[in-house]
Amino acid sequence: MEVARAHQLVPVVEPSQPSAARFLARDTAEAVGFGEEDSYRLGLVATELATNLVKHAQGGEILVRALGTDADAVVELIAVDRGPGITDVRQALTDGHSSAGTAGSGLGAIRRLSDTFDIYSAPGHGTVVLAHVRPRRAAAKPARRRMEVGSISIPKNGEDVCGDGWLVRETPDLTVIAVADGLGHGLHAREAAAAVLEGCAQARLAGPAAMLELMHGAGRHTRGAAAALAELRPHSGIVTCAGVGNISTSIVSAGSVRHAVSMPGTLGHEARMFREYTYPWDTEALLVMHSDGLSAHWSFDGLPGLVSRHPSVIAAVLYRQCSRQRDDVTVVVARESR
């Protein structure tokens, strides 16, 4: 089971700020047990990402979080900007290429130093760059998961903790993804989201509606939360969804978007109906789940090729385009592994 941490955000708008991104990245690496060499490598990636924001995009954000622990630990860095975008991404990744009169080693160096790398850029829409760094001491790459899942999870501006949360439960027979949004913001909202997600983690895998009802009971001692679950079984051709409150769940397939039903109420307080619905699913489909910190009016229109990128990149682009900027925001994107 994977319970995701929220991202820490570093704004980068001037030449003095890449150092803050580097320090945060290295501190995060050391907290999950990276050695000095791997922490230094991660610091280089953070520095290059942040420096590019200043040089090419007139500023942006670096998002940092740790995934996993011990030998499975990964530190994720995502650079998000709203700049002019890159006309030719392939050329920009070539060592020696520069549009700013520098040595041109930035994106190429980031790709070489990272264990996972992806980029999406569209002229006029800015750029998102994803880098995962794992400790080189790890004996082997992590086992390939049936579902590829990525996310953005960021506290409301001015808050130290995020009141949203999400998790993934995976067995040989199914994958369950849950997203929760605690009422309000700050510590008590986080406690509410954590409580209902713990209920999901402990619940018997008996279908989304039954699990949602158990999550309702787990949240009774909190201020309450909205939550949604999606259950996918391999080769079934369907996804089963259930929700209470304002978590949005959508299935994107062949250019169309189908929105799942969520019932009114608040888990832990007033929730009377727990119903699940099934929707068509195919191997090329995307699942998009998000809290109400993201506008429900997101769209992939005008963003050619985005649906083929890493799920974390897709989530970051949606955050950049449609975040309400006045609430915690969590966006989870999942697809079958390729």
- What would the pLDDT profile of 175-215 be if each residue is shown by its tens digit? 999 999 999 999 999 999 999 999 999 998 989 999 999 99
| CATH class (in words) of the domain with range 147-336 | alpha beta
Q: Which CATH architecture has domain 2-133?
A: 2-Layer Sandwich (3.30)
Query: Closest Cα to residue 331, out of 185, 190, 181, 194?
Result: 181
- Cα within 13 Å of Cα(330), Cβ side: 29
| Rounded Cα distance, 94 and 106, in Å | 9
Q: What is the pTM of this model?
A: 0.93
pLDDT digits (tens, 9 = 90+) for 268-299: 999 989 999 999 999 999 999 999 999 999 99
Order of strands across the sheet with 329-336?
A: 147-154, 329-336, 286-290, 248-253, 256-259
- Residue 11 sits at φ, ψ, to 5 deg, of -70, 140
What lies within 8 Å, CB to CB, of 5 at 6+ separation is 65, 66, 67, 153
| Rounded Cα distance, 155 and 329, in Å | 7
| Rounded Cα distance, 238 and 221, in Å | 35
pLDDT of 20 over the 50 cut:
yes
Same fold, 2-133 and 147-336: no
**Can you give the residue ranges of every domain in the chain?**
2-133, 147-336
Identify the helix (H) or strand (E) that includes residue 119. Answer: strand 116-122
